[in-house]
């Protein structure tokens, strides 16, 4: 391999390691602030957390109902014909649990929130940084991580968790609707019985952990790129693209960790 | 005890910590003084002021603020930091909040108050600053003259003992400049807002003329040096060409 390629690879690897180090430090600082300052300025921070939950959760509900409908149709549409061919139609509910509850539901919810709210985070914080608002907070004795980051992290973690639950419920319901329209010989009772039998306590626990992890890390990645480094206004759009790309990578890595957890347990 | 005490301090640029903008500053400000630090553009006035506020540490030398070494400033020293008010050039208001919310934020955050509990104090200050009609407007929809005044209100809400103002007259109209000069003079002598207690003031400027006053002290920042000039008489008699520039004295021109 030519030396210029190895140099480039080494540089990229080094930069990636630096980013991981920066993100790790930022995540730890944020966790520290969440724990240390959970009673500081409650009357300012709690309304901001509610605002962020509304932004990363409630405001996205209409889009999520549409996506839930589409997801149910897609999964059932693809699986019904295959399962019917091999006479395994009784596995429809189990398929929905594996595909929607364990994998697609949380991942899709995370990607949608990353696209809608994560990008806004980078742009808002990057602009605030570029306009000197962060220095203004420090001059007023207000911890920028506490005021700007903590509400976004908590709001996004709870937002993604709630939206995933709605997405899954919507997709399961629309899945049955599509199966019914395709004349699949399955009563609603049998369908939901299959789903209930396929679900274990681990599914609920890991679903909660996974979605909260998605929310936490998406918020960390987007806030880190918006806030942690001094920015000029013209750099904000470039940084937003980088943050979204890294957000997707982080979500896929978290998902891989949870797949391993499912396999181990 | 001096409010500000700098000994051999070097100041790094806020945007690039590896670049020293001012070196070897020896400066002492006692309570109740009114200092004007003048200098041409990019002479490091804002950086010096940020350091004076305890927002940066000196590269070399020692800096004590109210007798506390700023190198040790952390969460525990927050109360000391709140004794200092800082007004950025341009205001640096929070664009997502209204003018009233901007003014209320430090009070609500530091004292954990609801918006309703802080409302009376905020209204009184907005009234004093003639900002009441703009209370519910966001900064983007307010003229720069009023944004700067809102920044002053935001800094004053916690009643700091030391007020640092970065080029407060820059870009203001004549009426607003007069208002600022009058108001700063009042709080320097003792304003009702402070129950008549004088506030220590440090302002930076790129034009010395509006600051002419026998009670004020002057310093010059030029070519990385901090030069204490003294009172207005010394400023007028200073032979330094930059001082003359800042006084807008007609310099000799050569004609070809």
Per-residue pLDDT of A143-152, as tens digits, reads 999 999 999 9
- pLDDT digits over B150-197, tens only? 999 999 999 999 999 999 999 899 999 999 999 999 999 988 888 889
The whole-number pLDDT of residue A77 equals 77
* pLDDT value at B249 more than 70: no
Rounded to 10 degrees, what is the CA torsion of B69, B75, B79, B80?
10
Beta pairing, strands B68-69 & B60-65: antiparallel
pLDDT-derived band at A30 (thresholds 50, 70, 90) equals very high
**What is the interface pTM, i.e. ipTM, of the complex?**
0.88
To the question of domain B1-83+161-256 being in CATH 3.40.50.300, the answer is yes
The tokens describing B171, both together, are 């870009």
Residue A16 within a domain = no
Q: Which of A143, A161, A160 is nearest to A30 (CA)?
A: A143
Distances (CA, A) of A20 to A212, A245, B9, B38: 20, 14, 35, 44
Instruction: Specify if A43 maps to a domain.
Output: no
Q: Name the band, by pLDDT with cuts 50, 70 and 90, for residue B127.
A: very high
**Domains of chain B, residue spans:** 1-83+161-256, 94-159
pTM above 0.90, yes or no: no
Task: Give how many domains chain A has, as a whole number.
Answer: 1
| Contacting B residues, span 14-73, partner chain A, CB-CB under 8 Å | 14-15, 50, 53, 55
- Which residues of chain A make contact with B106, given a CB cutoff of 8 A? 140-142
Domain of residue A215: give its range: 59-264
Closest-CA residue in chain A for B109? A41
> Between A41, A124, A139, which is nearest B53 by CB?
A139
Give the residue among A104, A119, A107, A125 at the shortest CA–CA distance from A214.
A107
CA-based nearest residue in chain B for residue A147 = B109
- The answer to whether the Cβ–Cβ distance between A135 and B50 falls below 8 Å is yes
Candidates B55, B90, B117; nearest CB to A138? B55
> Do the Cβ atoms of A142 and B109 come within 8 Å?
yes
- Ranges A1-10, A195-204, B99-108, B115-124: which has the least confidence: A1-10
Q: Is the Cα dihedral B37, B43, B44, B46 positive or negative?
A: positive
Q: Dihedral (C-alpha) A45, A51, A54, A60: value to the nearest 10 degrees? A: -120
In B130-159, the residues whose Cβ lies within 8 Å of chain A are: 154-155, 158
- Output the pLDDT for position B138: 96
Give the model's confidence band at B83: pLDDT under 50 very low, under 70 low, under 90 confident, else very high: very high
């Amino acid at each position: 391999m030519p030396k210029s390629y190895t140099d480039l690879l080494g540089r990229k690897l080094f930069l990636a390691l630096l980013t991981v180090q920066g993100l790790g430090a930022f995540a730890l600082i944020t966790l520290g602030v969440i724990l240390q300052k959970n009673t500081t300025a409650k009357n300012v921070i709690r309304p901001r957390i509610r605002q962020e939950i509304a932004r990363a959760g409630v405001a996205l509900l209409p889009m999520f109902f549409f996506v839930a409908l589409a997801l149910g149709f897609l999964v059932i549409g693809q699986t019904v014909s295959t399962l019917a061919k091999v006479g395994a139609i009784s596995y429809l509910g189990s398929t929905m649990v594996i595909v929607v509850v364990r994998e697609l539901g949380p991942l899709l919810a995370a990607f949608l929130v990353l696209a809608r709210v994560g990008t806004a985070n980078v742009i808002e914080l990057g602009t605030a940084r570029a306009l000197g608002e962060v220095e203004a907070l420090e001059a007023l004795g207000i911890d920028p991580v506490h005021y700007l980051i903590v509400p976004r992290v908590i709001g996004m973690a709870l937002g993604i968790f709630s939206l995933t639950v709605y997405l899954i419920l919507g997709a399961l319901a629309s899945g049955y609707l599509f199966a019914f329209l395709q004349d699949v010989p399955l009563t609603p009772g049998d369908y939901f019985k299959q789903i209930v039998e396929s679900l274990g306590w681990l599914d609920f626990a890991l679903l909660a952990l996974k979605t909260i992890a998605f929310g936490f890390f998406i918020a960390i990645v987007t806030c880190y790129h918006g806030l942690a480094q001094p920015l000029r206004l013209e750099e904000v759009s470039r940084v937003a693209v980088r943050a979204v790309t890294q957000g997707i990578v982080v979500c896929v890595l978290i998902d891989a960790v949870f797949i391993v957890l499912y396999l181990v347990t | 005890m001096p409010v500000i005490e700098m000994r051999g301090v070097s100041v790094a640029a806020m945007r690039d910590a590896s670049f020293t903008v001012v070196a070897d500053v020896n400066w002492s400000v006692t309570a109740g003084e009114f200092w004007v630090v003048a200098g041409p553009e990019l002479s490091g006035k804002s950086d010096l002021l940020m350091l004076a506020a305890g927002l940066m540490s000196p590269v070399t030398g020692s800096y004590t603020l109210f007798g506390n070494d700023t190198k040790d400033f952390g969460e525990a020293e927050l109360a000391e930091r709140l004794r200092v008010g800082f007004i950025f050039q341009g205001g640096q208001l929070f664009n997502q909040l209204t003018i009233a919310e901007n003014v209320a934020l430090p009070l609500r955050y530091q004292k954990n108050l609801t918006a309703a509990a802080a409302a009376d104090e905020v209204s009184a200050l907005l009234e004093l600053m003639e900002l009441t009609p703009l209370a519910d407007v966001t900064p983007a929809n307010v003229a720069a003259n009023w944004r700067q005044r809102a920044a002053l209100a935001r800094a004053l809400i916690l009643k700091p003992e030391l007020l640092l103002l970065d080029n407060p007259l820059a870009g203001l109209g004549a009426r607003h400049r007069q208002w600022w000069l009058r108001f700063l003079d009042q709080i320097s002598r003792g304003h009702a807002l402070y129950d008549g207690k004088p506030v220590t003031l440090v302002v930076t400027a790129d034009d010395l003329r509006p600051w002419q006053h026998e009670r004020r002290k002057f310093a010059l920042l030029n070519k990385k040096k901090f030069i204490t000039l003294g009172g207005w008489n010394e400023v007028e008699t200073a032979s330094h060409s930059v001082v003359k520039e800042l006084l807008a004295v007609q310099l000799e021109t050569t004609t070809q």
